[in-house]
């Protein structure tokens, strides 16, 4: 009953309805979690982010896309009875019984400033901007911390060799969450290193894609001018029809 609840519990209950819409009478399975050391009973099956909202927390920072893309919701936790510190994205990971959770603010990370048009395509330029890469002790902690299951240590080793193509390939799905960096004993900001390598590879390493070069030449010759004019003159219904009727690659 409300008379027995503290003001914070009343606010938390109000937040549950607003943020999750869950009615506790409908819940069969519950788990116990701890947020910043305080215990909560929350419905099983929620993500960490939903569970925190159910418990009454409101995300003002540390949340963005809620879909595993923006990297904002980095979380560390450990399980009851274990000393191991685990990492997760709060919007992508389901709560488990006995989780001790802490949201972390985004780790301020040293970021180099450079003009890639004035840089040489080799390992020396990367080490000039990120000399700490040479301190990598190959402990693999970064790989274990990565919620995207990327081979982070491998791409750092590739960066050290100046193999920017391999870095681009291995780090392609990085969401810049920072969890690798906060665990690195060599204080390397892996995601910034990878971003530099991807930029360098895009500028100097990748071959110009033939199909785009061909299409650009056709556009410059004016092959599509009439089609553009028709599109610009079309009304919304005509545009919808054209979109629905467009040719598509087979699934
Ligand atoms: S490489 Fe690092 S920053 Fe990128 S997703 Fe993995 S842990 Fe996050
Ligand atoms: S955590 Fe740091 S030192 Fe360890 S392998 Fe990764 S980059 Fe190297
Ligand atoms: S909120 Fe964007 S990755 Fe979780």
Give the integer Cα–Cα distance in Å for 199 and 77: 33
CA of 247 to the centre of ligand 1 (A): 37
> pLDDT (tens digit, 0 to 9) for every residue of the chain, 251 residues total?
445 777 667 666 666 656 667 777 778 899 999 998 899 999 999 999 999 999 999 888 888 899 999 999 999 999 989 999 999 999 999 999 999 998 877 777 878 999 999 999 999 999 999 999 999 999 999 999 999 999 999 999 999 999 999 999 999 999 999 999 999 999 999 999 999 999 999 999 998 889 999 999 999 999 999 999 999 999 999 999 999 998 887 76
How many angstroms separate the Cα of 228 from the Cα of each of 41, 164, 224? Answer: 58, 38, 6
Fold observed for domain 116-205:
Fumarate Reductase Iron-sulfur Protein; Chain B, domain 2 (1.10.1060)
Q: 66: Cβ below 6 Å to ligand 3?
A: yes
| Start-end of CATH 1.10.1060.10 domains in the chain | 116-205
pTM summary value? 0.80
Burial zone of 232 (CB within 10 Å; 0-12 exposed, 13-18 middle, 19+ buried): exposed
Instruction: Please state which of the four CATH numbers 3.10.20.30, 3.30.390.10, 1.10.340.70, 3.40.630.10 is assigned to the domain occupying 2-103.
Output: 3.10.20.30
Which of 130, 143, 184 most suits a substitution to test ligand 2, by most atoms within 8 Å of the C-beta?
184
| Start-end of CATH 3.10.20.30 domains in the chain | 2-103
Beta bridge partners of 76: 87, 102
Residues flanking ligand 2, CB < 6 Å: 136-142, 152-153, 156, 184-186, 188, 190
């Amino acid at each position: 009953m409300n008379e027995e609840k503290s003001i914070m519990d009343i606010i938390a209950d109000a937040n549950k309805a607003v943020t999750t819409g869950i009615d506790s009478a409908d819940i069969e399975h519950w788990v116990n979690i701890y947020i910043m050391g305080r215990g909560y009973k929350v419905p099983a099956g929620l993500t960490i982010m939903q569970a925190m909202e159910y418990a009454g927390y409101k995300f003002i920072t540390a949340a963005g896309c809620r879909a595993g893309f923006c990297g904002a919701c980095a979380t560390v936790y450990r399980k009851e009875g274990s000393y191991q510190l685990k990492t997760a994205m709060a919007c992508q990971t389901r709560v488990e019984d006995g989780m001790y959770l802490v949201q972390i603010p985004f780790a301020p990370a040293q970021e180099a400033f450079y003009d890639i048009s004035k840089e040489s395509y080799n390992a020396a330029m990367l080490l000039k901007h990120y000399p700490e890469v040479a301190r990598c002790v190959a402990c693999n902690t970064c790989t274990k911390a990565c919620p995207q299951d990327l081979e982070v240590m491998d791409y750092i080793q590739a960066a050290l060799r100046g193999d920017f193509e391999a870095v681009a390939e291995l780090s392609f799905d990085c969401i810049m969450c920072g969890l690798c960096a906060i665990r690195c004993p060599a204080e390397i900001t892996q995601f910034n290193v990878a971003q530099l390598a991807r930029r360098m590879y895009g500028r100097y390493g990748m071959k110009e894609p033939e199909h785009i070069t061909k299409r650009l030449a056709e556009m410059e010759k004016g092959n599509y001018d009439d089609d553009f004019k028709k599109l610009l003159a079309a009304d919304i219904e005509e545009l919808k029809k054209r979109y629905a009727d467009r040719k598509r690659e087979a699934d």
